[in-house]
Amino acid sequence: MKATFSLGRVAGIRIGVHWSVLVILLVLAFGLAGRLPDAYPDRPPWQYWLTGLLGALVFLLSLLAHELSHALVARRNGVDVDDITLWLLGGIARLKSEAPTPAAEVRIAGVGPLVSLLLGVLFGLLAGLFAALDGAGLAVETLAWLAGINILLAVFNALPAAPLDGGRLLRAVVWRRTGSPLRATAVATGAGRALGWVLIGGGLYLFLIGALFSGFWLVILGWFLIAMATAEGGQAKLRELLSGVAVRQAMGHDPVTVPASLTVAQFLTAPEYRYRHSAFPVVDAEQHPVGLVPVKTAAEAPEATRSAPVTSVMIPIEDIPTPHPDDPLVGVLPELDASPAHRALAVEDGRVAGVLTSSDISRVTTWLASSSSWRHRTF
């Protein structure tokens, strides 16, 4: 899930928002605003809508707190965090690697529902306090709604089914008992798919009895769980397949590089950069990598700017994975997926030794699946 726009960083972690958040924001605001007139009639309509919108925004901040707790605990357990993205069905904290132990998995997964539960209790206490001080009102109703929805979020996320937090806890338990993280993932993702089908069945039943809106969201949520659980299971099998394979065995060797002093126009017309690859490493005068220039990006540059150096249109090296050729290939996968270029530059002794692409991963995966002897090949 890619963010549509960024909100900046919190505790050094990039926070992004997908456009679909607008949908859930409107749905939540509409739901809260729609229930307020029954409890507090004779108020101006704008008060209901403003209260609904503010309540929905606070709930999205609660979701962000939930995901931030995962990210911060993950970092304390040696797992790097790439970013957090809020979207239609909640939030996703993208971790760069697996939890190192079952105990770390429990800590990382368990903190999210705990934070949501604590927020629910906090909002409930605030609702009681406001009611005691000022009597019933829109603020009290909104705080009570926030308490209920956060507690519901905590309970739902604790269900033992991947990709929910409860699925991570189930995975940790099976991992500890069997010693196999792959088998543990298979159990958790199987539970996730089963729960997804149950939700879809429940949604179809609600359709039949006329609860169209509730049925629709249950079907969407069930489909999401099935898709995410299936993808997680596939990624686990891929990591198992690629275990023991080094970046050096998959990358393209001796790549053609682009001098940082070259202009965009020279890059587009030089024969050595035509019809070979879709992106090239950019190096400085000492041959140290400074970025990656996609041919398409350079070609789309306005004519008036083509006299500028290629560094003006390149992806900076900070946004590109730079593993050592002897690093495990499986460790690069999350960074490769998150990279805007979907490429990694293998760097050895300060210079570019190779380029790793998603196509290289697919090629290696195909070969490994068909021949176990590939692991012993050298290039």
Task: For tokens 């956060």, name the residue.
Answer: 150
Measure the CA–CA gap between 104 and 111, rounded to whole angstroms.
11
Tokens of 152: 């519901």
Q: At residue 319, what is the residue type?
A: D
Q: Are 176 and 100 in contact (CB under 8 A)?
A: no
Q: Which of 67, 105, 141, 232 is catalytic?
A: 67
Are 323 and 331 within 8 A, CB to CB? yes
Amino acid sitting at position 349: D
CB contact set of 297 (below 8 Å; sequence gap of 6+) = 313, 314
Question: Which secondary-structure segment (H or E) carries 43?
Answer: none
Structure tokens at 170: 């189930």
In terms of Cα–Cα distance, which of 254, 250, 299 is closest to 281? 254
Q: What is the largest CA-CA distance in the chain?
A: 78
What's the distance, Cα to Cα, between the start and end of the chain in Å? 35
Q: DSSP secondary-structure letter at 192? A: H
Tokens at 164, concatenated: 């929910």
Which residues lie closer than 8 Å to 253 by C-beta, 6 or more apart?
353, 354, 379
For the question of residue 335 being annotated catalytic, the response is no
The letter for the amino acid at 253 is H
Other beta carbons less than 10 A from residue 187's beta carbon: 19
Amino acid identity for residue 126 in this structure: L
Instruction: Look at residue 290 and give its three-state secondary structure.
Output: strand
At 180, give phi and psi (nearest 5°): -120, 110
H helix or E strand, kind and range, residue 339? none
| CA count, 13 A, side-chain hemisphere, 318 | 0
Which residues are catalytic, by number?
A: 67
